[in-house]
Amino acid sequence: MTSVNPARTDEVVGEAEPVDAAAFVDACRTARGAQRGWAAVPAPVRGRVVEQIGRLFEANKEALARLVTREIGKPLAESRGEVQEVIDTCTFFAGEGRRLYGQTVPSEMSDKQLFTFRTPVGVAVIVTAGNFPVAVPSWYLVPALLCGNTVVWKPAEYTPAIAAAFTELFQRGGLPDGVLQTVPADGPTTFEGLSAALDAGLVDKIGFTGSSAVGVRIGELAGRHLQVPCLELGGKNPLVVMPDADLDLAVEGALFSGFGTAGQRCTSLGTVVVHRDVHDEFLRRFDAAVRAAAVGDPTADVLYGPMISARFLESFERHLDLVRPHHTLHGSTGTGRITADNPREGFVGDPDAGLFAHPTIVDGVRADDEIYRTETFGPIVGVAAFDTFDEALALANDHGYGLSASIYTSTLAHAFRFREGVRAGMVSVNNSTSGAEAHLPFGGNGRSGNGSRQSGVWVLDQFTRWQSMNWDYAGTLQKAQMDTAVL
């Protein structure tokens, strides 16, 4: 597996030797062997290891951020933010090592006490995408390890250098052998290895961030083993602009949500749902903002850089073909800066050196259009007009996804009604659809996931199981439901 710099595709960045399915299973077996020992380390001590990992990321922040930019083309400011998200996650869970609370619960009977404990799930297999190659893995790995699980991590195929650096920092934090193993593998090998490891009883939890199509397959595989995976899948995230919105703020939000990271976030904006009264003015300002935005060299101050890999660029171009015959294309397509007829206008760097895609706005999107319900994972934003709040809500929901949703309004009631009515797991008011913070529950509904949540204390429910205990000190056999004098 070889990665190239997507902003300069003649530059090789990283390499990894992919494992075969048997090696994948072996890694799960090693993880199984190491798990009891790791779980026996007191949680506060595991928390210290997490704290140490956080310090190492802090000390190596700039170098790692530069590597993220070099291997996936994310603008440097965003790459720094991503590494910061790892540090924040470590800070949060280091403290959780000293909490990881259970409860004392009253019994129906006297001389009897009930308790609950969080117990580790066991071996976790984590499969992550390359658009957030350090932050998203940390959302899984840090709490999974803190809770006393061992982890087999399958990073994205196009980020071998980042995965190696990330793993090294985790290992240097003081993890015993076998507690975290990174296995470079392609998709088919991962499925084959995972399936065999599940059959052999070597996997207790799967965490997956990626496309909804692959998520369905992971869900089926896990379901056959009566497991509930943690699934963080795609999105078609709406941004609703009410007639009383601050339009400049909404334009700024739509620009970042839709085109930041070249639209390659699961939380990226899919469709602007704008009230008909302000539609034309919004579109005019949005179009101008998109045309004025700097695009190109991700080490410079740009809105976005290249697509992550050739596969992402090809898939984005297929999505453009989807809309071309049906819609008026606004924005830069056909007229703008990274087109063949005028490639250098406003572009930072050399547009021919890398995997750059031009920003596109598609106006006149309707609920029955394929683009309305298809996640594009690229710099393309649809615009749909509405007349009533109910129509806006329907447009915000009916695509089948339910990850993130945003509303721009100056009316409190609109904001709260939107929150109540929208299916999304994450709602923003007067803010971007993307940019979730590291200690709030992250996750979606519908095609965006199976309701699992990451981040903050909520993720503890993914990586621990509740165990109850009762302790009877009556000295005679007390029977629940039968010897309950008080009821």
- Tell me the catalytic residues: 232
Return phi, psi of residue 340, to 5°.
-65, -35
Tell me the site size for ligand UN1, rule CB under 6 A: 10
* Residue the block writes with tokens 């470590």: 90
**Rounded to the nearest 5 degrees, what angle is found at the Cα of 331, between the Cα atoms of 326 and 334?**
70
Closer Cβ to ligand UN1, 175 or 426, answer by number? 426
209 lies in the site for ligand UN1, by CB under 6 A? yes
Taking the least distance from each CB to ligand UN1, the nearer of 462 and 478 is 462
Binding to ligand UN1 in span 324-363, by CB under 6 A: none
User: Per rule CB under 6 A, is residue 414 in the interface with ligand UN1?
Assistant: no
CB atoms within 10 A of CB 60: 16
The residue (of 209 and 309) whose beta carbon lies closer to ligand UN1 is: 209
| Residue whose CB is less far from ligand UN1, 69 or 209 | 209
Least separation, in Å, of the C-beta of 265 and ligand UN1?
Answer: 4
Distance in angstroms (rounded) separating the CA atoms of residues 195 and 201: 10
Cβ contact 430:254 at 8 Å? no
The vertex-25 CA angle with 22 and 31, nearest 5°, equals: 145
The least distance separating ligand UN1 from the CB of residue 178, rounded to whole angstroms, comes to: 28
- Measured from the Cβ of residue 151, the count of other Cβ atoms closer than 10 Å reads 28
CA distance 143 to 88: 12
CB atoms within 10 A of CB 177: 11
- Residue 435 near ligand UN1 by CB under 6 A: yes
Site residues for ligand UN1, window 359-398 (CB under 6 A)?
A: none
Least distance in angstroms from the C-beta of 266 to ligand UN1:
4
Q: At its nearest, how many Å lie between ligand UN1 and the CB of residue 262?
A: 12
Residue 17 and residue 183: Cα distance in Å, rounded? 9
Question: Minimum Å distance from CB 22 to ligand UN1?
Answer: 30
CA torsion, points 177, 181, 182, 183, in degrees to nearest 10? 120
Cβ count near 106 (within 10 Å) = 8
**How much is the CA Rg of the chain, to the nearest whole Å?**
24
Nearest to 93 by CA among 457, 461, 453: 457
**Quick one: 47 or 443, whose CB is closer to ligand UN1?**
443
Minimum distance from CB of 19 to ligand UN1 (Å)? 24
Closest to 92 in 3D by CA, of 161, 138, 150: 138
The piece of 119-127, 166-174, 195-203, 264-272 that touches ligand UN1 (CB under 6 A) is 264-272
**Is the Cβ of residue 132 or residue 347 nearer to ligand UN1 in the bound state?**
132
257 binds ligand UN1 (CB under 6 A): no
Question: Which tokens in the block code for residue 141?
Answer: 């790995």
Tell me the C-alpha distance between 333 and 74, whole Å.
22
What is the closest distance, in whole angstroms, from the C-beta atom of residue 129 to ligand UN1 in the complex?
Answer: 6
Closest to ligand UN1 by CB, 88 vs 363, is: 88
Among 28, 53, 87, 436, binds ligand UN1 (CB under 6 A): 436
In the complex, least distance from residue 403 CB atom to ligand UN1, rounded to whole angstroms: 9
Burial of 346 (0-12, 13-18, 19+ CB in 10 A): middle
Written as one letter, the residue type at 348 is V
Query: Does 441 interact with ligand UN1 (rule: CB under 6 A)?
Result: no
Binding of ligand UN1 at residue 434 (CB under 6 A)?
yes
Contact window for ligand UN1 (CB under 6 A) among 260-268, 277-285, 381-389, 469-477: 260-268
Give yes or no for residue 399 binding ligand UN1 (CB under 6 A). Answer: no
Q: Smaller CB distance to ligand UN1: residue 49 or 436?
A: 436
72 part of the interface to ligand UN1, by CB under 6 A: no
Element (H, E) at 457: none
131 binds ligand UN1 (CB under 6 A): yes
Residues 295 to 324: which contact ligand UN1 by CB under 6 A? none
For 27, 46, 202, 274, 477, the CA distances from 153, given in Å and listed in that order, are 10, 19, 14, 41, 48
Cα–Cα distance measured from residue 39 to residue 23, given in angstroms and rounded to the nearest whole number: 24
Q: How far is the CB of 190 from ligand UN1 (least distance, A)?
A: 18
- Give the binding range for ligand UN1 (CB under 6 A) out of 92-100, 110-118, 320-328, 434-442: 434-442
CB atoms within 10 A of CB 295: 29
Compare residues 18 and 435 and give the one whose CB is closer to ligand UN1: 435
Q: Select the span of 53-61, 211-219, 265-273, 317-325 touching ligand UN1 (CB under 6 A).
A: 265-273
Distance CA(220)–CA(36), nearest Å, equals 28
**Interacting residues toward ligand UN1 by CB under 6 A:** 131-132, 136, 209, 265-267, 434-436
